[in-house]
Structure 1
Amino acid sequence: MIATSLLTPTPPARTTDPAVSAFFKGASAPAKRTLGKLAAIDLDGTLLGPDHRPSPENIAAVARLQQRGITVVIASGRHFDAIAPIATQLDSVDWYVCSQGAEVTHANRQTVLERQYMTRDDVELALAMGDQLGLISLVQVTEGTVTDAPSNPMLAYHDRINGKSAYQIPRAQILDRQVYKVLWIGEPDRIAGLRHLSEITSLPMQALHTERGIFELMPHTVTKANGLSRLATHLGLGASDVVAFGDGENDIAMFKWAGASYAMFHGHPNALAAAKLISPSGHPASALARAIDSYLAQ
């Protein structure tokens, strides 16, 4: 006769999921962090890669945010006219924070929540100082970007980055417009040193080095954070409902304001220091996609 113990298999050792074990011990399992309801995405260096275009990976990742019920807003230093052609490559992006936050608008531009302008005196001062420094000045007005400078390689550099050419009009007409901000264009090394000049630090306006050859002047109250705050209030949301993605010093304010923030790994050191998290490394063109996937996986 064969022994019964040989016919009955030995039961496998039982394992218990740590979360289940914690439940029966009266402890709570670690909770998964709730995702935000609004995602603010910068353009240059974030959604857009080194070729100034959104990569297929980034476009697909933005769609994954939307599939999770998260509203996407573009937050950029670009003018509305330079944002719209890019935003329309994405699905259902209805809100733009434009010109560093000077304008907060619906994509149809019929519903405008915010417009902040420089004073005429500050515009005159910025243009005169640009002339004194030997820099080319461009001006963002409600209708677009304008300049009184003749065509030259520096203007072409701006147009290539911006994806939209500036209109040439006389300075007297520029001063009659409502101005969001003034941009100075010059050689990168020259632009990089501007922030240390006493005449710049003493200006009664905000000064930002935004691209290698671009320096911007605008009111102190104009930031992406303030623009996003205005939009969030309109949508019935708070800072804790917002996640921000960016790469530059002009993103620092929104990084600090938003409940969650990701700097692209290749971004400005000050932006990396200000953001709560940094995108995984890899190709810069898909850094946003990796940051979004990291956020959705939390």
Structure 2
Amino acid sequence: MARLAAFDMDGTLLMPNHHLGDETLSTLARLRERDITLTFATGRHVLEMQHILGSFSLEAFLITGNGTRVHSLEGEVLHRQDLDPAIADIVLHQAWDTQASMHVFNDNGWFTGQEIPAMLHAHVYSGFHYQVVDVKRIPAHQVTKICFCGDHDDLIRLGIQLNDALGERANLCFSAVDCLEVLPLGCNKGAALKVLSNHLGFTMAECMAFGDAMNDREMLGSVGRGLIMGNAMPQLIAELPHLSVIGHCRNQAVSHYLTHWLDNPHLPYSPE
């Protein structure tokens, strides 16, 4: 039996309308009744996640910013990692051949250079909002991560440019088909989950995790039981072919899987 369960949010726990379903909330409560510790491992900001937890009275540890922050149940920072200022300076100030929008994150929030109302649809629960600023004026030592959002093919071309400029001094990953992130070197959800599991006195073999995108790869590949969503990025399924693929987030597949697992822990899982 797992002792710690880690959940990605977008494309995993959240349905396509960015809501948590009632079945999912009920199943999370059942896990807590079985004394299984919960953590949400997401690219979202801790300020937003704390609001969501409060809205649903959920007790969980938080891995946010794709592993840049780990917070305790009480909101204490257990782990923090920011971009090297030299890397942030390059990404912020170099001219990139891309149509993608740039988004900068730090402990104070989410910053971008223009109004993009469509990007707020994913934040219906919390009302979490970007702040429009001149991103090039953000101090490089105050940057946790930088995201580029746009067309996937354009982001692939941008990724090549970023790799050429940054080399192995940062971690690049797709947190969604339309979102390429520049993260601190060695920073990912798997590394952050290991920090949390050590803090709690658990082994990674005692953890289970669910995810759907390439930013979930290290986390899913390092736990005792990793589950990939049916709506996952094909690259993720190809990278982790030994892991089980469950149903689609629109059908609250995590809830279906966990209900079966809780009620019939020794039987094979059948997708819904």
Q: Do both proteins adopt the same fold according to a TM-score greater than 0.5, normalized to the shorter chain?
A: yes
Q: Which residue among 56, 66, 82 is the counterpart of 2:22?
A: 56
Corresponding position: 1:201 with 2:163: yes
Distance 1:77 1:283, change over 3 A: closer
Q: Which residue among 72, 76, 93 is the counterpart of 1:106?
A: 72
Distance 1:71 1:237, change over 3 A: same
State whether residues 36 and 243 of structure 1, in contact with CA within 8 Å, keep that contact through their aligned partners in structure 2: yes
> What is the CA–CA distance in structure 2 between the aligned matches of 1:171 and 1:283, rounded to whole Å?
34
User: Which residue number corresponds to residue 17 of structure 1?
Assistant: none
Corresponding position: 1:161 with 2:122: yes
2:6 corresponds to which letter in structure 1? A
> What is the CA–CA distance in structure 1 between the aligned matches of 2:4 and 2:54, rounded to whole Å?
18
Corresponding position: 1:175 with 2:139: yes
> What is the CA–CA distance in structure 1 between the aligned matches of 2:153 and 2:40, rounded to whole Å?
29
User: Which residue number corresponds to residue 187 of structure 1?
Assistant: 151
> What is the CA–CA distance in structure 2 between the aligned matches of 1:272 and 1:91, rounded to whole Å?
33
Task: List alignment gaps of at least 5 residues for structure 2.
Answer: 266-272
1:109-158: per-residue Cα shift (whole Å, max 9, x none)? 2x1111101122211211234654243211110111112x122xxx3233
Give secondary structure in 1 for the equivalent of 2:12: coil
User: Which residue number corresponds to residue 116 of structure 1?
Assistant: 81
State whether residues 83 and 145 of structure 2, in contact with CA within 8 Å, keep that contact through their aligned partners in structure 1: yes
Distance 1:117 1:125, change over 3 A: same
State whether residues 93 and 107 of structure 1, in contact with CA within 8 Å, keep that contact through their aligned partners in structure 2: yes
| Aligned-CA RMSD value | 2.1
Give aligned pairs, total. Answer: 256
Alignment of 1:217-296 (within 5 A): 217-273=182-238, 274=240, 276-279=243-246, 281=247, 284-296=250-262
Task: List alignment gaps of at least 5 residues for structure 1.
Answer: 1-34
Distance 1:128 1:232, change over 3 A: same
1:261-298: per-residue Cα shift (whole Å, max 9, x none)? 1111111123334263222x366241111221233222
Q: TM-score scaled by structure 1?
A: 0.79
Q: Which residue among 86, 92, 105 is the counterpart of 1:140?
A: 105
State whether residues 192 and 209 of structure 1, in contact with CA within 8 Å, keep that contact through their aligned partners in structure 2: no
State the structure with more CA Rg. 1
User: Which residue number corresponds to residue 268 of structure 2?
Assistant: none
1:85 corresponds to which letter in structure 2? H
Q: Which residue among 29, 37, 45 is the counterpart of 2:11?
A: 45
1:272 corresponds to which letter in structure 2? I
State whether residues 192 and 212 of structure 1, in contact with CA within 8 Å, keep that contact through their aligned partners in structure 2: no
More displaced, 172-181 or 258-267? 172-181
Query: Post-superposition shift, 1:177?
Result: 5.0
